[in-house]
């Protein structure tokens, strides 16, 4: 379990660094709710249509076998992420009227220095 957590932490750190290089700003990390967790909450000031809040799911896989990391964000996981995002917005009313989107960052390879792939607008809340 410790090794898995270490890999997850490294993947999230790499994802956060990549997102910040891409112009997003950090809001929160590892926000836990009953039934779900938000890996990263970021703000995209340059999003199409104006600034938006971005809920980011970070998925690490050693390889692309079985469809890779993005394929593991199935309908059930998406439903949990949307629910966690709703709870987050309820607890943080300053963001409640801000447009939101859901991104996925795939991380693979060397756990200490994973390669990352950013999937913007990976799914929509009204799809779940």
Look up the domain containing 45 and give its range.
2-127
CATH classification at residue 34: 3.40.1350.10
State the pTM of this model. 0.90
**Residue 54, CA distances (Å) to 4, 66, 83, 95, 110 in order:** 25, 27, 14, 11, 26
* Better pLDDT: 74 or 1: 74
Q: 72: closest CA among 122, 116, 126?
A: 122
Q: Are 118 and 105 in contact (CB under 8 A)?
A: yes
**What confidence score (pLDDT) does residue 20 get?**
97
pLDDT in tens, 87-115: 999 999 999 899 999 999 998 888 788 89
pLDDT at 66: 58
**Tally of domains in the chain:** 1
**Left (φ > 0), alpha (ψ -120 to 50) or beta: where does 115 sit?**
beta
């Amino acid at each position: 379990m410790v090794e898995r957590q270490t890999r997850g932490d490294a993947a999230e750190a790499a994802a956060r660094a990549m997102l910040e290089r891409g112009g997003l700003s950090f809001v929160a990390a590892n926000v836990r709710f009953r039934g779900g967790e938000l890996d990263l909450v970021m703000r995209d000031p340059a999003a199409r249509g104006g600034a938006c809040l971005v809920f980011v799911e970070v998925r690490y896989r050693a390889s692309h076998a079985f469809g890779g990391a993005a394929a593991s964000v199935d309908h059930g996981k998406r439903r949990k992420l949307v629910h966690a995002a709703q709870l987050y917005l309820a607890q943080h009313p300053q963001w409640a009227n801000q447009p939101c989107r859901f991104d996925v960052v795939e991380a693979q390879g060397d756990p200490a220095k994973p390669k990352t792939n950013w999937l913007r607008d990976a799914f929509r809340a009204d799809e779940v």
